[in-house]
């Protein structure tokens, strides 16, 4: 009897051990099948991207629809297919298919918020351009839990309960005080961890009235091309009511070595950074800038602010007077002064950081080498930096922190393969399906 009992125990133990082996060992054939399937899936996505780039949108749509039927498709892959479909539907002006896509997708299934925002943005562009009220309603029914509407596509956005999946930029922002100056949180000042370098978030903005990207840029403290690059396919001079604009407030600090109370300039992205500590908390103040043209480039190197002038007069140098001989010898302080309301000199050079009387040049290559700023921004910076403040200026085409990268425009494409080995990401990132000038995770 005892021998039978031992035999039973041994058999049960061996069975359990064998089942554990089976549990942890996968059939090599199944592994090979999965690898082949994954490779085919990737190749099909790359093929759909190529068809899109070549303008063969119907072929891109057919492949994308077939891929959606793949069993066991991951949320990461599904969001890429939704982006391919929505981009193709927009290009072909296929309103019915876009409505079906918006109604069928689950917002929570998007691991990357940008992909979600971009799909809804493309839908909003199509439906507002075509004046498709059903489509606009489908978009807002997904973005908002409760919607109040009045005729002619007019939405009382202030009275709507929003879906928390979407970061909708608030009408009013909190302020942070630094050295007696108020900065707007999540617009020109952000909580900042120097060890991570990534800060801020992406937001969507629902356009309230017909406008332009230039006007939106000025209002929300962006440079023109910064906002334009983040929102490809939007007509920058015809931004319509109820369209979605993506606000690229998620950024990577451009320098790895960071010292508080130094000014850091990245000429490529046309933006200035100033990290500070407020009440033992780390922040970064940041403003868009205009820079020198290709013929009169802004300086690269390290400088110190050597002079600060309030309401400066401007004496055009001889080099500019030769180009424009009709210029007066001096521009007194006032609204016509090209230096704006404040000026700060870089070292012993002729280059200044200053305001402007041409605010729509911010975010562009427009100056004779000086750093231009919105007057409101340069006035804030003027009050919080001292003579002797260090200024570091460089040209950084691609930024990477952890698994996130940021490229300002197409000039950074040549560096993309050095930081990302993902063929799908690199391919789709170089198309007009994807915006630039903000930090995004590599997928």
| Active-site residue (options: 118, 354, 368, 436) | 354
Give the integer Cα–Cα distance in Å for 405 and 398.
7
The verdict on whether 354 is a catalytic residue reads yes
Nearest alpha-carbon partner for 79 in 433, 341, 343:
433
Give the integer Cα–Cα distance in Å for 341 and 357.
9
**Are the C-beta atoms of 231 and 243 separated by less than 8 Å?**
no
132, two tokens: 């498709």
**Angle, helix 28-53 to helix 57-68, in steps of 10 degrees:** 150
Helix (H) or strand (E) holding 9: helix 2-24
For 309, half-sphere exposure in the C-beta direction (CA atoms, 13 angstrom radius) is 18
Report the 10 Å Cβ neighbour count for 406.
Answer: 23
396, two tokens: 């950084």
Give the integer Cα–Cα distance in Å for 314 and 335.
12
307-311 — which CB contacts under 8 Å span 24+ positions? Answer: 307/343, 307/344, 307/345, 307/387, 308/342, 308/343, 308/344, 308/345, 308/382, 308/387, 309/342, 309/343, 309/344, 310/341, 310/342, 310/382, 311/341, 311/342
| Active-site residue (options: 176, 364, 370, 381) | 370
**By CB neighbour count within 10 A (0-12 exposed, 13-18 middle, 19+ buried), where does 38 fall?**
exposed
The verdict on whether 332 is a catalytic residue reads no
**Are the C-beta atoms of 438 and 122 separated by less than 8 Å?**
no
What backbone torsions phi and psi does residue 397 show, to the nearest 5 degrees?
-85, -25
Task: Please give, one letter per residue, the 3-state secondary structure of 13-29.
Answer: HHHHHHHHHHHHCCCHH
164, two tokens: 């928390």
Helix (H) or strand (E) holding 379: helix 375-384
Which residues are designated catalytic? 354, 370
């Amino acid at each position: 009897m005892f021998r039978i009992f031992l035999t039973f125990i041994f058999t049960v133990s061996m069975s359990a051990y064998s089942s554990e082996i089976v549990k942890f060992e996968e059939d090599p054939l199944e592994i090979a099948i999965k690898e082949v399937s994954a490779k085919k899936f990737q190749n099909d996505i790359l093929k759909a991207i190529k068809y899109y780039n070549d303008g063969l949108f119907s072929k891109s749509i057919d492949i994308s629809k077939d891929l959606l039927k793949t069993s066991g498709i991951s949320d990461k892959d599904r969001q890429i297919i939704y982006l391919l479909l929505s981009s193709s539907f927009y290009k072909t002006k296929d309103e019915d298919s876009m409505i079906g896509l918006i109604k069928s997708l689950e917002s929570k299934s998007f691991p990357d918020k940008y992909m979600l925002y971009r799909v809804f943005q493309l839908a909003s562009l199509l439906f507002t351009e075509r004046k498709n009220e059903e489509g606009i309603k489908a978009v807002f029914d997904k973005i908002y839990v409760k919607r109040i509407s009045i005729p002619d596509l007019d939405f009382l956005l202030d009275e709507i309960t929003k879906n928390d999946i979407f970061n909708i930029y608030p009408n009013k922002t909190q302020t942070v005080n630094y050295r007696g100056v108020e900065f707007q949180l999540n617009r020109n000042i952000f909580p900042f961890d120097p060890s991570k370098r990534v800060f801020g978030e992406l937001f969507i903005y629902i356009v309230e009235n017909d406008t332009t990207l230039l006007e939106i840029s000025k209002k929300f403290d962006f440079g023109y091309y910064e906002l334009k690059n983040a929102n490809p396919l939007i007509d920058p001079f015809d931004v319509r009511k109820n369209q979605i604009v993506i606000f690229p407030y998620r950024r990577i600090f451009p320098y790895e070595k960071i010292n508080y109370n130094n000014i850091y300039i990245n000429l490529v992205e046309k933006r200035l950074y100033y990290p500070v500590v407020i009440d033992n908390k780390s922040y970064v103040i940041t403003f868009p800038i205009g820079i020198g043209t290709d013929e009169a480039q802004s300086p690269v190197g390290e400088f110190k602010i050597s002079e600060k002038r309030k309401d400066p007069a401007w004496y055009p140098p001889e080099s500019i007077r030769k180009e424009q001989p009709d210029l007066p010898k001096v521009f007194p302080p006032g609204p016509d002064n090209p230096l704006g309301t404040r000026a700060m000199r870089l070292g012993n050079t002729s280059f200044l950081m200053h305001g402007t009387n041409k605010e729509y040049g911010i975010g562009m290559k427009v100056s004779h080498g000086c750093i231009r700023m919105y007057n409101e921004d340069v006035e804030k910076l003027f009050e919080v930096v001292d003579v002797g403040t260090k200024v570091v200026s460089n040209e950084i085409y691609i930024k990477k922190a952890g698994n996130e990268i940021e490229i300002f425009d197409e000039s950074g494409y040549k560096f993309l393969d050095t930081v990302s080995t993902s063929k799908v990401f690199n391919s789709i990132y170089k198309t007009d399906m994807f915006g630039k000038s903000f930090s995004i995770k590599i997928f």
